[in-house]
Structure 1
Amino acid sequence: MVMYALLLATGIQVSGCPATIQDTQVVAVSTGWDVRIEKRPRLLERVTVYSGEPSRRRSLQPVPGKNGSSIWGFAGENIWIECRYSDSAAVLIKNLGVVKSCSFEPAEGGTSNPARVTCEKKK
């Protein structure tokens, strides 16, 4: 975690993925069935970081950290982030521009301490 602390100490932090999202589902079923949709937050589960647009499929591999965390360091390229959520087909994609680093910390204890992504922009 010393590496992570050093990376974040030298730039401006920006949020990566939202920790939770609310989504809706549409269900088509045969006659006679009732549908109940549970309204609950979908928790951030997985992150993929790309050099350039995700459609180019140039994902970047992180450096593994402690307790399942991941750290990415960049050399001035245009970074995109893809956020995937538990029990949801929704995928959020965002162009972060030029950033210095990103880190992912997995959830601990469900909604009380959700997963989080933090990125650092260059000054």
Structure 2
Amino acid sequence: MSYSMLLAPLGAISRWQLSKLNGKLVAFPWFPAGTFAANILGSIVSILTVALEYRLEVQYGDFDFWTVGSIRAVRIGLAGCLTTVSTFVSEIVKFLKSNTNHAYPYMYWTLGTAAAISAFIYGLAVYSM
């Protein structure tokens, strides 16, 4: 667990930098593009580590402690700090309180995009053997 703390600042700083994109889309100024990008990138990193761990297990069987620890440190530290549920939920609540019709499209786009990309990446890892 301590190993993942070394990667956490990279995820947090990346998220902070991406937050500067919020409100910058000309066509959709209400859309928090930075939060969306951070959540999607974090989801991609997370599913890549899951897929990598799966492939290593299938190909090599039992692999060493440091390999597993490194993969999980990336997932917990980097991806965990890059994606935060609290910001996502607070933005949805903000949209709901403002009586706009933006909450549900934002929620569906974020969750749908993350799920579709994750299914694709994991599918490649499992079925491309």
Q: TM-score, normalised by structure 1?
A: 0.28
Which of the pair is proportionally richer in helix? Answer: 2
Which of the pair is proportionally richer in strand? Answer: 1
